[in-house]
Structure 1
Amino acid sequence: MIELTDAALQKAAGEGMDEFIQVFTDKYKEVIGDKLTAETMALLTGEQHSLLAYQIFRDEIMVGGFCQLIQNGYGAYIFDNPFAKVMRLWGAEEFSKLLYQAKKIYDAHREELEKERTEDEFMAMYEQYEDFDKLEEDFFEMEEQVTSIVASYVDEHLDLFAEIIN
């Protein structure tokens, strides 16, 4: 089981919801060597993967949107796993709906979205896949609330995410 110190969690919780989640996900990334492969996937539980997926999703969308998320190789990790369902079960219903809408776009254009691209071709994707724009705007508006919901769920179910040691 992943181990975190109570002191690290307390410090992070005092700094905010983002930092609280980051303590967990930084440790997960350390454990998997910051690589999502068939071998490293088995090192984390389903709950841990869901939390890591949220962190990755949030970080990628806030910086570069869905095109960047997919181009950076996270499309399958987000859309081919039960991430949207888990977010609904954790209480983030609107976010879950947004993920299902994005998955429809992803599934319809997957091969093209995942294709290797030059920098110019990548930048052109933002015009080509404007369907993502509204979803990105919606996420920007809900991000703080979703992060709060996720952080609260983790806080209420700590034993699912790490063993807390003194």
Structure 2
Amino acid sequence: MIEVTDSALQVAASEGMDEFIQVFTDKYKEVTGGELTAATMPLLTGEQHSLLAYQIFRDEIMVGGFCQLIQNGYGGYIFDNPFAKVMRLWGAEDFSKLIYKAKKIYDANRSDLEKERTDDEFMAMYEQYEVFDDLEEEYLDMEELVTASLASYVDEHLELFAKIIK
């Protein structure tokens, strides 16, 4: 089981909910060597993968939106796994619905969204896929609440996410 220190959680929690979640996800990235491959996937549990998926989603969307998330290779990790369902089960219903809406766009355009692109072609994606704009805005409006809600879920179920050492 992945271990995190109680003191690291205390410090992070005082800094904010996103920092609290990041204590876990940084450890997950350390254990997997920052690579999500067939060899590293079994190193994390389903709950740990779901939390890591949220961290990746949040980081990518906040910086470059869905186009960046997908171009950086995370489309399958987010949309081909039960991520949206887990978010609903963890209490983030509206966020779950947003993921399902984005998945429909992703599924319908997957080959184009995932193809290799030059920097200019990548930038042009933002015009081509303006359909993501409303979903990105919706997420930005709910991000703080979703992050706090998920941090609360993690705090109430610590044993699912890591072994806490004193």
Which TM-score band applies after superposition, normalised by the shorter structure? Answer: over 0.9
SS of the aligned residue for 1:116 comes to coil
- Is 1:157 matched with 2:164? no
CA deviations over 1:63-115 (Å, ceiling 9, x no partner):
00000000000000000000000000000000000000000000000000000
How far apart, in 2, do the equivalents of 1:110 and 1:54 lie?
A: 20
How far apart, in 1, do the equivalents of 2:143 and 2:8 lie?
A: 24
How far apart, in 2, do the equivalents of 1:17 and 1:67 lie?
A: 26
Deviation at 1:47, TM superposition (A): 0.1
Report what 2:99 is aligned to. Answer: 99
Q: How does 1:15-30 map to 2 (within 5 A)?
A: 15-30=15-30
Report what 1:112 is aligned to. Answer: 112
How far apart, in 1, do the equivalents of 2:5 and 2:121 lie?
A: 45
Deviation at 1:6, TM superposition (A): 0.5
Runs of 4+ in 1 over 3 A off after TM superposition: none
How far apart, in 2, do the equivalents of 1:145 and 1:6 lie?
A: 24
How far apart, in 2, do the equivalents of 1:6 and 1:147 lie?
A: 20
How far apart, in 1, do the equivalents of 2:6 and 2:138 lie?
A: 34
Report what 1:35 is aligned to. Answer: 35
- Is 1:74 matched with 2:74? yes
5+ residue gaps, structure 2, are none
How far apart, in 2, do the equivalents of 1:108 and 1:6 lie?
A: 44
SS of the aligned residue for 1:101 comes to helix
Report what 1:56 is aligned to. Answer: 56
How far apart, in 1, do the equivalents of 2:140 and 2:15 lie?
A: 21
CA deviations over 1:19-74 (Å, ceiling 9, x no partner):
00000000000000000001100000000000000000000000000000000000
**Percentage of matched positions with identical amino acids:** 82
SS of the aligned residue for 2:40 comes to helix
Deviation at 1:162, TM superposition (A): 0.1
Q: Give the total of aligned pairs.
A: 166
Amino acid of the structure 1 residue aligned with 2:13: A
